[in-house]
């Protein structure tokens, strides 16, 4: 069994010698099964990072659907851009968020029968990052999965014990215990209709649980929000022409559901089925060290699958099939009395006309909670998806409705930078 070393200078035979920990690093990777993919749970990590100040810079999304320990114990050493992806080729990581075990529970495999492989994998993870956050296995429910829910309790207890025995390198995060009823069965409100994967509300609450831990662990890392931005292309490597929300020259199009004040360079459109949004510029709070005004979107009318799209033409170099390849996005956002039950998600991205995601989606799935007030920072630097040669691209904020509602609150944003 591999035993993580306690420091950088030595370890027992067969152990792992890790990089020194004199300072925290923001670089962060995400790995695991389908509950760590965009469709079914990745957003929980983005909520966690955002609500703890964006101090994590997520640089790899290595979640893979349908996988268990047999898939991961060897493939973790694959290149992070390979198919299937691993963690090799990344720079030294400050941390990994890793969730694995659901499929092994579904296969009714006991922890004891797989323990050696899991602990071998954990040792490998510790070789890639200063610290590994092992996230709990959610409860399983419904006709297909409920019979195997007892295994999730068994696995979580074993994973927690492993982390307790190796506290320098591992933290167990029980971010799903509240998704169980008093008797340990699954509360379906937190889950997708398949009763296995997290729904939007589950992602939000799981992310908030991890954020509480990260806020303490990462307090010494700086928040990445840039308050002075003067190096847009061609002077520097900043692609967004108006990260400081200057002016009110933005325009409205599409479903004609937008009105009010919109910062220069933005175009807002809505679907044609009654979605409306009132826009305004809001000054920074008195005493705020960041003087940048907020762009506010007050969601006055939403409905199922109704959309709001805010887009801006980037300023930058020629787009090719391989460049830009690793853009870093940072945006500060604020939620004001927002009813998350009326939205499916909102996301920030840079998308080419070919569909290539030059800045991958920084998505926050939503649900269950209402009257939500948060200030957060989304941040990542994940390799682009797609290898086409685009003719153009758009920097975007996209909001998708989940249910009908009026005056459901507002979303503010500022200092949306795209670099690389």
The CATH number covering residue 309 comes to: 2.60.120
- Tell me the percentage of the chain whose pLDDT exceeds 70: 95
Q: How confident is the model at residue 1 (pLDDT cuts 50, 70, 90)?
A: very low
Classify residue 406: in a domain, yes or no.
yes
Does one domain contain both 183 and 306? Answer: no
Q: How confident is the model at residue 15 (pLDDT cuts 50, 70, 90)?
A: very low
Placement of tokens 């940048």 in the chain = 292
* CA pair distance 107, 4, nearest whole angstrom: 29
**What are 385's two structure tokens?**
């998806």
Judged against a pLDDT cut of 80, whether residue 19 lies above it is answered with no
Does one domain contain both 188 and 270? Answer: no
pLDDT at position 22 is: 40
Q: How confident is the model at residue 88 (pLDDT cuts 50, 70, 90)?
A: very high
Q: How many domains does the chain divide into? A: 2
Does one domain contain both 150 and 266? Answer: no
Does one domain contain both 195 and 308? Answer: no
The CATH number covering residue 52 comes to: 3.40.50.1110
Q: From its phi and psi, is residue 72 left (phi > 0), alpha (psi between -120 and 50) or beta? A: alpha
DSSP annotation of 146 reads: G
Comparing CA positions, the residue from 249, 234, 259, 282 lying closest to residue 414 is: 282
Domain limits at 337?
251-419
Comparing CA positions, the residue from 151, 138, 143 lying closest to residue 104 is: 151
pLDDT at position 235 is: 85
Q: What is the mean pLDDT of the chain?
A: 94
Query: Radius of gyration (Cα) for the chain, nearest Å?
Result: 22
| 167-221 confidence digits (pLDDT tens) | 999 999 999 999 999 999 999 999 999 999 999 999 999 999 999 999 999 999 9
């Amino acid at each position: 069994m591999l035993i993580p070393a306690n420091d950088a200078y030595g370890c027992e035979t067969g152990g792992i010698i890790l990089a020194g920990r004199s300072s925290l690093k923001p670089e962060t990777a995400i790995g695991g099964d389908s509950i760590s993919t965009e469709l079914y749970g990745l957003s929980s990590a983005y909520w966690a990072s955002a609500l703890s100040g964006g101090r994590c810079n997520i640089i790899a999304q290595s979640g893979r659907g349908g996988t268990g320990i047999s898939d991961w114990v060897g493939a973790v050493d694959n290149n992070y851009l390979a198919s299937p992806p691993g963690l090799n080729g990344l720079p030294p990581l400050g941390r990994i968020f890793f969730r694995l075990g659901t499929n092994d529970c579904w296969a009714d495999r006991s922890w004891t029968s797989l323990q050696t492989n899991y602990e071998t994998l954990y040792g490998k993870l510790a070789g890639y990052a200063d610290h590994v956050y092992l996230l709990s296995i959610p409860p399983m429910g419904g006709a297909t999965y409920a019979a195997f829910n007892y295994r999730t309790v068994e696995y979580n207890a074993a994973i927690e014990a492993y982390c307790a025995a190796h506290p320098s390198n591992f933290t167990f995060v029980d971010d799903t215990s509240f998704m169980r009823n008093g008797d340990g069965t699954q509360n379906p409100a937190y889950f997708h209709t398949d009763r296995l994967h997290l729904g939007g509300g589950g992602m939000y609450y799981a992310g908030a649980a991890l954020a509480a831990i990260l806020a303490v662990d990462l307090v010494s890392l700086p928040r990445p929000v840039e308050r002075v931005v003067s190096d847009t292309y061609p002077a520097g490597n900043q692609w967004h022409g108006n990260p400081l929300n200057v002016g009110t020259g933005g325009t409205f199009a599409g479903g004609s559901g937008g009105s009010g004040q919109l910062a220069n360079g933005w175009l807002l459109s809505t679907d044609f089925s009654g979605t409306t949004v009132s826009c305004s510029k809001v000054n920074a709070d008195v005493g705020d060290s960041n003087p940048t005004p907020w762009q506010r979107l007050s969601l006055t009318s939403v409905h199922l699958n109704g959309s709001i799209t805010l887009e801006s033409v980037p300023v930058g170099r020629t787009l090719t099939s391989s460049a830009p390849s690793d853009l870093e996005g940072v945006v500060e956002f604020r939620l004001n009395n927002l009813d998350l039950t009326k939205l499916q998600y909102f996301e920030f991205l840079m998308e080419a006309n070919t569909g290539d995601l030059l800045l991958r989606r920084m998505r926050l799935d939503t649900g269950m909670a209402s009257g939500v007030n948060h200030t957060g920072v989304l941040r990542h630097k994940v390799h682009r998806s797609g290898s086409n040669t685009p003719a153009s691209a758009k920097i975007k904020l996209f909001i998708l409705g989940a249910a009908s509602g009026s005056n459901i609150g507002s979303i503010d944003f500022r200092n949306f930078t795209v670099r690389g």
